């Protein structure tokens, strides 16, 4: 496997991790509402906080990738996403969960925007199929995440293991990325 292929595999692993994180919130809303003692209608603020964080992060990510080492930025974004995901099932207050979702959203473009920047820089004029591959692997993560949540909830009747299972898969993807990049 050439160095270019290893780096590309690392980007794909990062996008699996992104898909895992993005798709975990919806299926865990009832559990998060119970955890924080609020109604489902109140817990929906988490989507807004995360989206606002994503907007701010997207504005910053492109500029940062133009100025700083890209692989380090993506490794930091993956690390912070993992820390935020791992903390979710242990926060008893809605306002804390809202802050965590904002921060999670803030770091997600570090993988999304950054991965697209980096793969274009790596493959230049032949980037087309590799860019498709990024989004394919995001889709794998987004598909698998609700399945992990369903299994964990069925086995434990709580969301803690759902987020920890996603965190474990996220750690694996991060390890593949760091080994490749």
Q: Do 112 and 141 meet the contact criterion of CB atoms below 8 Å apart?
A: no
- CATH of residue 24's domain is 1.20.1250.20
**Given the structure tokens 């609700």, which residue do they identify?**
146
Residue 111, domain member (yes or no): yes
Residue 155 clears pLDDT 80, i.e. is over it: yes
Residue 143 pLDDT grade (very low, low, confident, very high; cuts 50, 70, 90): very high
pLDDT tens digits, residue range 45-104?
999 999 999 999 999 999 999 999 999 999 999 999 999 999 999 999 999 999 999 999
The total domain count for the chain is 1
Helix (H) or strand (E) holding 36: helix 25-36
Distance CA 149, CA 166 (A): 8
64 or 180, higher pLDDT: 64
Residue 40, domain member (yes or no): yes
Residue 134, domain member (yes or no): yes
- The confidence score (pLDDT) of residue 139 equals 98
Residue 102, domain member (yes or no): yes
Instruction: Report the percent of the chain where pLDDT is more than 70.
Output: 99
Indicate the length of the chain as a whole number.
181
Backbone angles phi, psi at 135, to 5 degrees: -75, -30
Residue 79, domain member (yes or no): yes
- Distance in angstroms between the alpha carbons of the first and the last residue of the chain: 13
Range of the domain at 93: 3-176
Distance CA 84, CA 174 (A): 14
Residue 181, domain member (yes or no): no
* Residue 46 structure tokens: 């988490």
What angle (nearest 5°) sits at the alpha carbon of residue 61, between those of residues 76 and 181? 45
């Amino acid at each position: 496997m050439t160095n270019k292929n290893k780096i590309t595999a690392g980007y794909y692993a990062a996008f699996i991790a992104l898909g895992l994180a993005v798709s975990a919130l919806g299926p865990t809303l009832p559990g998060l509402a119970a955890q924080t003692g609020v109604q489902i209608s109140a817990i929906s603020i988490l989507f807004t906080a995360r989206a606002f964080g994503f907007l701010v992060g997207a504005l910053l990510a492109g500029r940062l990738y133009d100025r700083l080492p890209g692989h380090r930025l993506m490794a930091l974004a993956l690390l912070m996403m993992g820390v935020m995901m791992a903390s979710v099932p242990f926060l008893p207050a809605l306002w804390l969960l809202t802050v965590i979702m904002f921060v999670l959203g803030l770091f997600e473009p570090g993988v999304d925007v950054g991965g697209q920047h980096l793969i274009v820089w790596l493959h230049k004029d032949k980037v087309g199929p590799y860019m498709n591959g990024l989004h394919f692997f995001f889709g794998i993560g987004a598909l698998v995440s609700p399945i992990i949540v369903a299994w964990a909830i069925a086995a434990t009747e709580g969301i803690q293991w759902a987020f920890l299972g996603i965190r474990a898969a996220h750690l694996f993807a991060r390890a593949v990325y760091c080994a490749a990049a």
